[in-house]
Homo-oligomer: A and B are copies of this chain.
Amino acid sequence: MTGRRPRTRCGRCREKAVIELRRHSVAFCKDCFLVYCRSQVTKAIEKYDMLAPGDRVLVAVSGGKDSLALWDLLIQLDWRADGLYLGLGIGGYSDRSGEGCAEFAASRGVTLVRHDLATEHGFTIPQAAGPPTSSRRGKGAAGGRSSCSVCGLSKRYVFNSTALAGGYDVVATGHNLDDEAAVLFGNTMRWDTVSMKRQFPVLQATRPGLIKKVKPLYRLAERETAAYCVLTGIDYIVEECPLVAGNTQMRHKETLNAMEEEVPGSKHEFLFGYLERASHLLEEADDHELTACARCGMVTQVPADGEQPVCAFCRTRARMAIQLEQAPPRGQAPPLEAAQAAGAPATAPAAAAEVTG
């Protein structure tokens, strides 16, 4: 690596470069970088048949760089793409995120669908996760789920149910190359073959109640989606979710970043190598059997213990309904201003589905 000279000219038009992509051994000027981003998204969509002409796409947006870049790119590429914002009740962070999504939608003249966990389902993420314990980072005290885990299952539930109810063909999420590599890395380090098998740029709707899910940004690195937003003037929320600090995926990203620094292209090789050379071998891995949740009718795993199947989202709602009716246990006051939603009803949407996490 010693003595390497950064590339200062665009590899496409020889103008002055604004960004270097070491893993591709190339640099780009602004215009050519935007062409590159669009072509990577087009390539992703075509390679995995993510979208078909006429599809109505629901883009899950958080107000961050990835989801707003994705929404913008899909609009640029002439896809019919509405946004979906889910309020998670994470204090001022959630408020600012929601506003950012609304402003983006207004600036582009596109539709933003808004849902809210507290109002519609009776709990916020900080409430459901409880205060963090000292024994294990990111792991919540109440109910044993980390904030990231309960957030993930809630988002999957609401994205899926909203898309089904709204007649969308597909949900698109802003997972980038770094996200996908980090999740794959975590699953691979534990050889969780069931989760590995499920990780793919496209997840088909394999049964009624499930919506097709796609990740059109899986070919773009995190710093590339950030650069896309900066160069196109997208005013994204820079702050990280305050609950994410020190979580497992962040640690995996740090590990992969250190390896990338040492050998540029490591992350790309890991993710793409898996997709191209190994994922088909995982098809033989045992999978969870799926069934309908006994409470909401949505798709969930068949319990191993022969119990009635109740999906993780219904279990969380039920737990929170009990917990928030009681006086907060000592030292566990509902954090942030989200406690105001404590009395909201825990109703299931009429037509929704989920796969538990």
Contacts and interface: CB of A to CB of B under 8 A. Distances in A.
Interface of A: 2-3, 134, 188-193, 251, 255, 258-259, 262, 266, 269-270, 273-274, 276-278, 281-282, 284-285
Nearest to A279: B191
Contacts of A188: 188
Contact of A191 (B3, B259, B270): B270
Given A255-B255, A284-B284, A285-B281, A273 B191 contact: yes
A136 to B, nearest CB: 9
Contact of A259 (B189, B266, B273, B278): B189
A281 B274 CA distance: 13
Contacts of A192: 273
Given A191-B274, A193-B277, 15 more contacts: A2-B134, A189-B259, A189-B266, A189-B269, A189-B270, A189-B273, A190-B269, A190-B270, A190-B273, A191-B270, A191-B273, A191-B278, A255-B258, A255-B259, A284-B284
Contacts of A190: 269-270, 273
Residue with the greatest number of chain B CB neighbours at <10 A, chosen from A189, A269, A282, A284: A189
This chain: copies in complex: 2
Contacts of A282: 281
Contacts of A3: 134
Query: Lowest 7 A-B CB distances belong to which pairs?
Result: A191-B273, A191-B278, A191-B277, A281-B281, A189-B270, A191-B274, A281-B284
Nearest to A188: B188
A255 to B, nearest CB: 6
A251 B255 contact: no
Contacts of A281: 193, 281-282, 284-285
A259 B269 CA distance: 21
Nearest to A273: B191
A44 to B, nearest CB: 19
Contacts of A189: 259, 266, 269-270, 273
